[in-house]
């Protein structure tokens, strides 16, 4: 089996390989097919990975991929670190033999678990309101596919763990529904919006108010809220142009 010089370098001299008893969070992952296992430790400052280390039990490639994952993640924001992929790690190592490609998954999965554990811990402390566009005025409702034209918004308070459902007065607007709906979200002191889609005008208003937008998955509204709290949702990246020919911005 031929390893690249980069793989051998990280195998012989692994970076950041130590235990961290005072870590802010840790996350583990084990590959059941080969028994290799990895635990990442992270310290967070200003939403960035200030320090990262790991303990790994496994093959030459799993040691090299753990080392490279730590190098790539160090200094990154949590959102950026969550986007590190197996391909990024393989590329940074100048490739892996075909039979060792799966080793790159160890680093990515353990890192994501560590970050998600951190977010879970923080969300337990950070009090916030989470909004989501919904189809019906009841808790067991599904997510509405439109943000600006949704009939209602479900708003969940992480402090009281209570939900309310409010009307979206923008739903029948001739134009600018997204912007009006965004204003409703702001007026209700929401910190995070979960939605399948969002137009650029509404996104601009929400971003200016410091409201983060996360992409919902194919599940009920409450399942999406729980998934967000578990750190399983990603930021919404595809912001669509504001105008669709029906005035819904
Ligand atoms: Fe399975 Fe390396 S052989 S992680």
Helices (H), the chain: 5-12, 60-73, 78-82, 86-92, 103-125, 177-187, 200-208, 221-229
Establish whether residue 59 lines the binding site of ligand 1, counting it when its CB lies within 6 angstroms of any ligand atom: yes
pLDDT band at 248 (very low <50, low <70, confident <90, very high): very low
Establish whether residue 92 lines the binding site of ligand 1, counting it when its CB lies within 6 angstroms of any ligand atom: no
Out of 124, 149, 179, pick the residue that ends a domain. Answer: 124
**pLDDT tens per residue, range 85-142:** 999 999 999 999 999 999 999 999 999 999 988 987 886 666 789 999 999 999 899 9
**Same domain membership, residue 222 and residue 148:** yes
At residue 135, the 3 state secondary structure works out as coil
Domain count, the chain: 2
CATH code where residue 78 lies: 3.90.1010.10
- Probe target for ligand 1 pocket from 3, 30, 62, with the most ligand atoms within 8 Å of CB: 62
Q: Which residue has the higher pLDDT, 249 or 237?
A: 237
Is residue 30 a part of any domain in this protein? yes
Q: How many CB atoms lie within 10 A of CB 176?
A: 20
**Same domain membership, residue 133 and residue 118:** no
State the Cα–Cα distance between residues 17 and 240, nearest whole angstrom: 43
**Same domain membership, residue 204 and residue 183:** yes
**Same domain membership, residue 154 and residue 220:** yes
**pLDDT tens per residue, range 85-99:** 999 999 999 999 999
Whole-angstrom CA distances from 47 to 42, 65, 70 are: 11, 24, 16
**Same domain membership, residue 189 and residue 145:** yes
Instruction: Classify each residue of 38-75 as buried b or exposed e, where b means 16 or more C-beta atoms within 10 Å of its C-beta.
Output: bbbbbbbeeebbebbbbbbebbbbbbbbbbbbbbbbbe
State the Cα–Cα distance between residues 81 and 103, nearest whole angstrom: 18
Establish whether residue 36 lines the binding site of ligand 1, counting it when its CB lies within 6 angstroms of any ligand atom: yes
Contact 239, 199 (CB under 8 A): yes
Is residue 245 a part of any domain in this protein? no
Out of 90, 124, 158, pick the residue that ends a domain. Answer: 124
Dihedral pair phi/psi, residue 88, rounded to 5°? -60, -45
State the Cα–Cα distance between residues 151 and 224, nearest whole angstrom: 18
**Same domain membership, residue 191 and residue 95:** no
Establish whether residue 62 lines the binding site of ligand 1, counting it when its CB lies within 6 angstroms of any ligand atom: yes
Is residue 82 a part of any domain in this protein? yes
Q: How many CB atoms lie within 10 A of CB 204?
A: 16
**End-to-end Cα, the chain, rounded Å:** 56
**Bridge partners of 55?**
39
Contact 17, 56 (CB under 8 A): yes
**Same domain membership, residue 192 and residue 82:** no
**Bridge partners of 220?**
142
**Same domain membership, residue 15 and residue 120:** yes
**Same domain membership, residue 169 and residue 119:** no
Is residue 47 a part of any domain in this protein? yes
**Same domain membership, residue 206 and residue 132:** yes
**Bridge partners of 43?**
51
CATH code where residue 199 lies: 3.30.420.130
**What count of residues does the chain have?**
249
pLDDT band at 160 (very low <50, low <70, confident <90, very high): confident
**Same domain membership, residue 216 and residue 153:** yes
Is residue 241 a part of any domain in this protein? no
Nearest atom within ligand 1 for CA of residue 103? 4
**Same domain membership, residue 157 and residue 85:** no
For a pLDDT cut of 70, what percent of the chain falls above it? 95
Is residue 56 a part of any domain in this protein? yes
Q: Provide the residue range defining the domain that includes 79.
A: 5-124
At residue 95, the 3 state secondary structure works out as coil
């Amino acid at each position: 089996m031929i390893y690249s010089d980069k793989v051998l370098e990280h195998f012989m001299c692994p970076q950041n390989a130590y235990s961290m008893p005072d870590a802010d969070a840790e996350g583990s992952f084990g590959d059941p097919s080969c028994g290799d296992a990895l635990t990442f430790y992270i310290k967070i400052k200003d939403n960035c990975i200030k320090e990262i280390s790991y303990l790994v039990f496994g093959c030459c490639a799993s040691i090299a991929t753990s080392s490279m994952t730590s190098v790539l993640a160090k200094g990154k924001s949590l959102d950026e670190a969550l986007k590190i992929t197996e391909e990024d790690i393989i590329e940074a190592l100048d490739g892996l033999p075909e039979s060792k490609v799966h080793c790159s998954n160890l680093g990515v999965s353990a890192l994501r678990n560590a970050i998600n554990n951190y977010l879970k811990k923080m969300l337990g402390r950070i009090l916030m309101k989470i909004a989501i566009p919904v189809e019906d005025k009841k808790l067991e409702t599904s997510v509405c596919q439109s943000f600006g034209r949704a009939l209602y918004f479900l708003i969940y308070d992480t402090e009281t763990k209570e939900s309310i459902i409010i009307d979206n007065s923008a739903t029948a607007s001739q134009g600018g529904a997204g912007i009006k709906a965004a204003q409703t979200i702001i007026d209700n002191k929401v910190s995070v919006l979960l939605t399948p889609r969002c137009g650029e005008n509404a996104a601009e208003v929400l971003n200016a108010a410091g409201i983060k937008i996360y992409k919902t998955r194919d599940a009920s509204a409450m399942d999406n809220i729980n998934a967000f709290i578990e750190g399983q949702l990603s930021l919404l990246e595809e912001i669509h142009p504001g105008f669709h020919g029906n005035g819904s911005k």
